[in-house]
């Protein structure tokens, strides 16, 4: 591996731990839990792992533990800090018993099923401490859902004498981890399963999981880039920058980046849905801000757009649902048509009147993207829809009409950006380096205590790391029933931006001022070395939520 000077320096950074994890640990059991919704259904599906108590760690007495082998899997999209979770698991296991071994399954859950693995030694782990990415063992999106997969995984675990698995992933991955834990416990298979909360989107959160790892770093990386663009906009004074940000299911990244950078406009998908806004409502809102700034001589600005916006606009959501069904039943006929124009006309005729009206109003490029290849589940690939370009085109068209009416006197020139991969594998901030190491250490304790069906939890995150509260939360506590591919299935409930929450309210207080006036903040790059007020700050979201 070729190492940069920063990577070499970061290898020596010692992540901070909560007081309870610095020595021997004892577990304190709290109240028994129930799922967030659909209690009877979830209990029936998870009879062995439902209703388990919350767990909190406190300093305790050292107790000998037998040597054991543990497996670890990175599942789903990358998030900064994953390597520190593995480092925390490794160090935690070695502290409990130097003879403990950690095996990493390669390429995600598929590696567990296909028995592709590597033993993670100090020589390997030390090279990845405090670095971004998941390249130590790779990740993948194979879903562990079928009994055949569970049995293959069990055979592979038995061959390596593995008695516990740690699955590092988002809501779907941890749902699968819980299903696996239930299956193995029901069979008395002798394999524990522990989850770790990961996603930069920030939608895996609740009272026990204050934030998923990677969210802090990704938002700081995106905010640096947004700040750079805003400084350029304020220098050149001639472009409106439309910036799409990760977040298909929730707008947490957009809201956090807005709080950090104070753009002129930030669209919150959850608000659009709650107010039943149309696409034209969103376009008009942006165009009005452009016109007001132009009247003040400011023909520039920034607009933040969540990746999943189109699915939150009720009419667009209905259109996409119709298209998914229509294209599934007419795939051969649509593919037989040669040109995009013919395909659009054919599809438009099959749509309902309301959806047809929306469909024909869209720019051709966006209509074509909506008809493009589906994902493996038959759904439109929202991340491929160039929402930022669509909004530029539609705002431009509206302003052109207003100019003829004398309602717009300025100039408008749009620049489109999409920040996604730029933040997923960044070197973790001090917060994520510490948080992830604590999560990994927590997972090792849960394993030592024989727990299964739990997710590692570290709370009180706006306090100093000494005061963080480590423990475990039953995954079933976070579940509800949702329709997936036509069937009701148990899944971890996604956390959307709360319109009654402190971060959103703080944003609403200021956004009218930001829209008209230039109040940009330039956060600059993540700082690793220096005063704690620069290096160790948490997200604005956490600060406002826990104020």
Q: Where are the beta strands (DSSP E) in 61-141?
A: 69-74, 101-105, 117-120
1 burial type by CB count under 10 A (0-12 exposed, 13-18 middle, 19+ buried): exposed
Rounded distance, CA 400 to CA 385, Å? 24
Pairing of strands 469-474, 454-459: antiparallel
> Angle 279-295/387-405 helices, nearest 10 degrees?
60
Q: Residue for token digits 């920040």?
A: 419
Query: Collapsing DSSP states into helix, strand and coil, what is residue 323?
Result: helix
Structure tokens at 428: 């973790």
Strands of the sheet with 414-419, listed across from one edge:
265-266, 301-306, 240-245, 414-419
CB atoms inside a 10 Å sphere around CB 298: 18
* Direct distance between the N- and C-terminal alpha carbons of the chain, in angstroms, rounded to an integer: 43
Q: Give the DSSP H or E segment for 480.
A: strand 479-484
- Residues counted in the chain: 547
Cβ atoms of residues 314 and 241 within 8 Å: no
Find the DSSP H helices in 449-531: 502-516
Active site residue 354: no
In angstroms, the Cα distances linking 231 to 237, 261, 262, 382, 535 are 10, 11, 12, 29, 22
Query: Collapsing DSSP states into helix, strand and coil, what is residue 384?
Result: helix
Nearest to residue 139, comparing CAs of 58, 48, 77, 195?
77
What residues have CB less than 8 Å from 382, skipping those under 6 apart? 248, 307, 308, 310, 311
Residue 459: strand pairing partners: 469
Structure tokens at 352: 């309902």
124 burial type by CB count under 10 A (0-12 exposed, 13-18 middle, 19+ buried): middle
Could you say which of 171, 201, 203, 216 is catalytic? 201
Nearest to residue 230, comparing CAs of 534, 423, 537, 514?
514
Q: Which residues of 311-340 are buried (b: 16+ CB within 10 A; e: fewer)?
A: bbbebbeebbebbbebbeeeeeeeeeeeee
Q: Give the DSSP H or E segment for 54.
A: strand 53-59
Give the up-direction half-sphere exposure of residue 116: CA atoms within 13 A in the CB hemisphere. 11
Active-site amino acid positions: 201
């Amino acid at each position: 591996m070729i190492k940069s000077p920063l990577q070499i320096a970061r290898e020596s950074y010692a992540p901070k731990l909560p007081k309870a994890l610095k020595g021997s640990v004892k577990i304190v059991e709290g109240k028994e839990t129930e799922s967030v919704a659909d209690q009877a259904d979830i209990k029936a599906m998870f009879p062995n792992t439902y209703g388990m108590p919350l767990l909190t760690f406190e300093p305790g007495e050292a107790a000998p533990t037998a040597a054991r082998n543990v497996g670890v899997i990175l599942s789903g999209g990358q998030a900064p800090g994953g390597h520190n979770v593995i480092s925390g698991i490794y160090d935690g296991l070695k502290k409990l018993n130097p003879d403990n071994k950690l095996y990493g399954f390669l390429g995600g859950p598929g590696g567990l099923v296909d028995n592709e693995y590597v033993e993670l030694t100090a020589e390997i782990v030390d090279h990845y401490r405090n670095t971004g990415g998941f390249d130590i063992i790779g990740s993948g999106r194979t879903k562990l859902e079928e009994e055949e997969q569970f049995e293959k995984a069990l055979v592979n675990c038995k061959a390596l004498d593995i008695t516990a698995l740690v699955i590092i992933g988002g809501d779907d991955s941890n749902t699968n981890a819980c299903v696996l834990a239930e299956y193995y416990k029901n069979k008395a298979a002798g394999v524990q399963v522990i989850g770790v909360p990961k996603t930069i989107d920030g939608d895996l959160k609740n009272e026990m999981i204050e934030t998923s790892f990677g969210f802090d770093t990704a938002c700081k990386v995106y905010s640096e880039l947004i700040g750079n663009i805003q400084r350029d906009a304020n220098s050149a004074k001639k472009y409106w920058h439309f910036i799409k940000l990760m977040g298909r299911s929730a707008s947490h990244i957009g809201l956090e980046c807005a709080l950090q950078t104070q753009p002129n406009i930030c669209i919150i998908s959850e608000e659009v849905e709650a107010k039943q806004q149309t696409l034209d409502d969103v376009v008009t809102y942006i165009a009005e801000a452009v016109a007001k700034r132009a009247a003040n001589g400011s023909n520039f600005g920034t607009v933040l757009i969540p990746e999943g916006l189109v699915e939150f606009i009720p009419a667009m959501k209905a259109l996409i649902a119709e298209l998914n069904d229509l294209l599934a039943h007419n795939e051969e006929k649509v593919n037989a048509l040669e040109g995009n124009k013919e395909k659009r006309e054919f599809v438009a005729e099959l749509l309902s009147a309301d959806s047809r009206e929306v469909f024909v109003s869209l720019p051709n490029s966006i209509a074509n993207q909506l008809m493009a290849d589906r994902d493996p589940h038959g759904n439109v690939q929202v991340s491929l829809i160039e929402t930022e370009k669509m909004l530029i085109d539609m705002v431009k068209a509206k302003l052109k009409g207003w100019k003829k009416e004398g309602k717009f006197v300025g100039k408008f020139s749009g620049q489109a950006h999409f920040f996604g991969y730029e933040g997923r594998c960044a070197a973790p901030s001090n917060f994520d380096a510490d948080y992830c190491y604590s999560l990994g250490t927590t997972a090792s304790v849960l394993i030592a205590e024989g727990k299964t069906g739990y997710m590692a939890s570290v709370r009180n995150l706006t306090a100093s790391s000494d005061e963080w509260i480590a423990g475990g939360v039953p995954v079933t506590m976070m579940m509800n029933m949702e329709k997936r591919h036509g069937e009701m299935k148990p899944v971890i409930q996604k956390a959307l931006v709360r319109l009654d929450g402190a971060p959103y309210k703080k944003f609403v207080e200021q956004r009218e001022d930001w829209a008209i006036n230039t109040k940009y903040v330039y956060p600059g790059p993540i700082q690793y070395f220096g005063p704690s007020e620069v290096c160790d700050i948490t997200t604005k979201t956490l600060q406002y939520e826990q104020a």
